Amino acid sequence: MAIIKTEHLSHVYSPGTPFEKTAIGDVNLEIEQGDFVGVIGHTGSGKSTLIQHLNGLLEPTSGKVWVDGKDIWENKKQIRQVRFLVGMVFQYPEYQLFEETVFRDIAFGPTNMGLSEEEIKQSVLEAMEFVGLDPSYADKSPFDLSGGQKRRVAIAGVIAMRPKVLILDEPTAGLDPKGRDMILNQIKSYHEKTGSTILLVSHSMEDIAKFAKKVLVINQSKVFAYDTVEKVFSRREELIEMGLNIPQISNVFHTLAQKGYPVSERVYTVQAAKEELLRVLRERGAAHD
Amino acid sequence: MIRDITLGQFFPGQSPVHRMDPRMKVLLTIVYIILLFSVGNWLGFLVVILFLAVSIGISKIPFKLMIKGVKPIIPLIVFTSILNMFFVAGDPIFKIGFFKITIEGVVLAAKMAFRIVALIVGTSLLTYTTSPIALTDAIESLLKPLKKVKFPVHEMAMMMSIALRFIPTLIEETDKIMSAQKARGADLESGSLMQRAKALVPILIPLFISAFRRAEELALAMECRCYQGGEGRTRMRQLKYGRLDLYAAIFSLLCLVGVILINLFAPVIP
Ligand SMILES: Nc1ncnc2c1ncn2[C@@H]1O[C@H](COP(=O)(O)OP(=O)(O)O)[C@@H](O)[C@H]1O
Ligand SMILES: [Mg+2]
């Protein structure tokens, strides 16, 4: 069953004023439980607006959103429950930290859920482990940490609610390469261990190809494509035309194939590239023997 | 949403009113306020209407926008009008027990209501046609004489323009932080007063931290460009009075003189 479903979902900002802006229009989506979905699209295409509908932070101008089989706006009073089910990590989440200690900040979500002391403690420590924060950080002030560590505290603050769906809006923006890899790998292992559904908004086609199973492409407030990584990135020309790209390594293989080398163009990660090159070289070697 | 609040309601344009020197606009707004409160009878109000009609017409600001500015103070107008109607002594035209409405009261209430509306419309014409930066420039320039008594005019104007500049930024930031805390289940809409006040902590702390961070960054950026206050500072955009300002001043003064003459020679009209 689809964990998230939208039907004719549209959102208009500041309706009826000169600043009226349709940020998303007529979005129909079905996201299956347990999928790892990469979300790509030009700045201003409506990615952030779309994902804020999935946990009820924005109310649709028209259309419907179902989470776990329930229309989330059917009962407005219950909208907080949806936010525990669908965890959302905003862009630059470290700016939301406010507590005196790392532990208490991460515990903010679980406390709002009304969990018991014991459950809170357990979920906080578990979340810290998922993001690779040593338990010794629990009593430190979040404001004394480095940028990357702050961000991990903020992500832990959402993971601690144990959401069935975890949405991350550009979680690696502004981090150094090591910090980026670390966070993405932690998200991946969280996905594998808990079987939760992940939506990852990113501008890095490499990261999307490496981690996601499916790709959602938003273009000019509409869904342009929602399909597997291979199928989406095989539409190279269209993606480039809308100001997006395909992974660099795929571009390399595209050029190689154009120049007449017997390589496949369906290579999206460095790992796959290595295997493809070895395959081609081995075949050549065999032909020379 | 918090973002929908409009502050510093500048409505960009190229009309003669927009192009006037902001100092002249501030001065003429003061003249207008004096004019408005020296009006004694209905003939005088016609002059006020003429003044507003001409200025708004030239400024090309949509009339709807003008009305929008009046809306929030309608309760205030209604309240003062009712007070005036009931509590001014004179000939009663309507009476229930202790309460009575007098002719004088109705006239005074109507005049008061008209004055308040005209005041809002007139002053919002200033903010609609003048960018906040131009406005602070004008205030700085007009208050310059206060420097003689060691009043830090330039510093005050700089503080004002920085504050104005950062209002939209802070509103946007508040919006983001609120969304982020709501996503973690923060409940901002229900509970007792105490609980609601407590629920603001997760929003105010990040907001203060980011405001301080921005202030520090801005201070650093200003120091990098050798900012050192008003001493010996020249301006890129010099304020200069032009022909438009002369016309506007003549028109305004004619209106003022008109009102004074009406007051002197036609005092019998209520
Ligand atoms: N709170 C808002 N008020 C008005 N317009 C907005 C708001 N948030 C976003 N927009 C506009 O909606 C469009 C989509 O924005 P967004 O969803 O943030 O795109 P993305 O995340 O893909 O960059 C943009 O044109 C943006 O300017
Ligand atoms: Mg965005």
Residues in chain A: 289
The ranges assigned to domains in chain B are 2-166+238-265
| pLDDT band per the 50, 70, 90 thresholds, residue A1 | confident
- Given this model, what pLDDT does residue A232 score? 95
Distance A173 CA to ligand 1 centre (A): 18
Owning domain of residue A125:
2-229
Question: ipTM of the predicted structure?
Answer: 0.90
| pLDDT tens digits along A135-169 | 999 999 999 999 999 999 999 999 999 999 999 99
pLDDT tens-digit profile of B70-103?
888 888 888 888 888 877 777 777 777 777 788 8
Check whether residue A180 and residue A287 sit in a common domain: no
- Tokens 């299956």 sit on residue: A32
Tell me whether residues A158 and B176 touch, CB distance under 8 A. no
Q: Report yes or no on A30 lying in a domain.
A: yes
Contact residues, chain B to chain A, C-beta under 8 Å: 4, 176-177, 179-187, 201-202, 205-206, 209-210
Claim to verify: residue A144 and residue A270 sit in the same structural domain: no
DSSP A30: E
pTM of the model: 0.80
pLDDT-derived band at A194 (thresholds 50, 70, 90) equals very high
Same domain, yes or no: A205 and A281: no
pLDDT given for residue B269 in this prediction: 56
What is the rounded distance in angstroms from the CA atom of residue B28 to the CA atom of residue B25? 5
Going through chain B in order, the beta strands assigned E by DSSP cover 92-96, 99-102
Please list every protein residue whose CB sits less than 6 Å from any atom of ligand 1.
Answer: A 13-14, 21, 23, 41, 43-49; B 3
A184 and A104 assigned to the same domain: yes
Residue A123 lies in a domain: yes
Contacts of A112 (CB under 8 A, 6+ apart): A80, B184, B185, B186, B187
Provide the domain count of chain A. Answer: 2
Nearest Cα residue to B142 out of B157, B127, B155 = B157
Query: How high does pLDDT run on average in chain A?
Result: 94
Q: Which ligand is nearest to the CA of A170?
A: 2
pLDDT in tens, B4-50: 444 457 888 899 999 999 999 999 999 999 999 888 888 889 999 99
**Res. B2: pLDDT tops 60:** no
Verify whether the Cβ–Cβ distance A83 to B182 is below 8 Å: yes
Does residue B230 carry a pLDDT above 80? no
Closest in B4, B176, B187 to A80, CB measured: B187
Q: For residue B150, give the DSSP letter.
A: T
Task: From B181, B197, B174, B56, select the one nearest A158 (Cα to Cα).
Answer: B181
Quote the ligand 1 centre to B208 CA distance (angstroms): 24
* pLDDT tier, B242 (very low <50, low <70, confident <90, very high otherwise): very high
> Model confidence at B268, in pLDDT bands (50, 70, 90)?
low
Question: Are residues A22 and A66 part of one domain?
Answer: yes
Does residue A98 belong to the interface with chain B, where contact is any CB pair within 8 Å? yes
Q: Is residue A236 part of a domain?
A: no
Residue A80, chain B, CB below 8 Å: the answer is yes
- Over residues A196-223, the mean pLDDT reads 95
User: Has residue A242 been placed in a domain?
Assistant: no
Residue A94 forms part of a structural domain: yes
Is B187 close to A87, i.e. CB distance below 8 A?
Answer: no
Residue A267's nearest CA partner among A277, A259, A258 is A277
For A7-53, what is each residue's pLDDT tens digit?
A: 999 999 988 777 789 999 999 999 999 999 999 999 999 999 999 99
- Interchain contact, A14 vs B4, CB within 8 Å: yes
DSSP structure string for B160-229 = HHHHHHHHHHHHHHHHHHHHHHHHTT---SSS-HHHHHHHTHHHHHHHHHHHHHHHHHHHHHHHHTT---
Q: For the segment B188-227, what is each residue's pLDDT rounded down to a tens digit? A: 877 888 888 888 999 999 999 999 999 999 999 999 998 9
- Judgement on whether residues A144 and A278 belong to the same structural domain of the protein: no
Check if the beta carbon of residue B20 is closer than 8 Å to that of residue B139.
Answer: no
Distance CA A149, CA A247 (A): 28
Does A97 fall in a domain? yes
Q: Which atom of ligand 1 is nearest to the CA of A13?
A: 4
Which of B76, B103, B75 has its CA nearest to residue B89?
Answer: B103
Contacts of A53 in chain B (CB under 8 A): none
Q: With bands split at pLDDT 50, 70 and 90, how would you rate the model's confidence at B104? A: confident
Same domain, A31 and A150: yes
Judge if A68 and A21 occupy the same domain: yes
Q: Is residue A61 a part of any domain in this protein? A: yes
Question: What residues of B are in contact with residue A143 (Cβ under 8 Å)?
Answer: 209
**Is B177 in contact with A96 (Cβ distance < 8 A)?**
yes
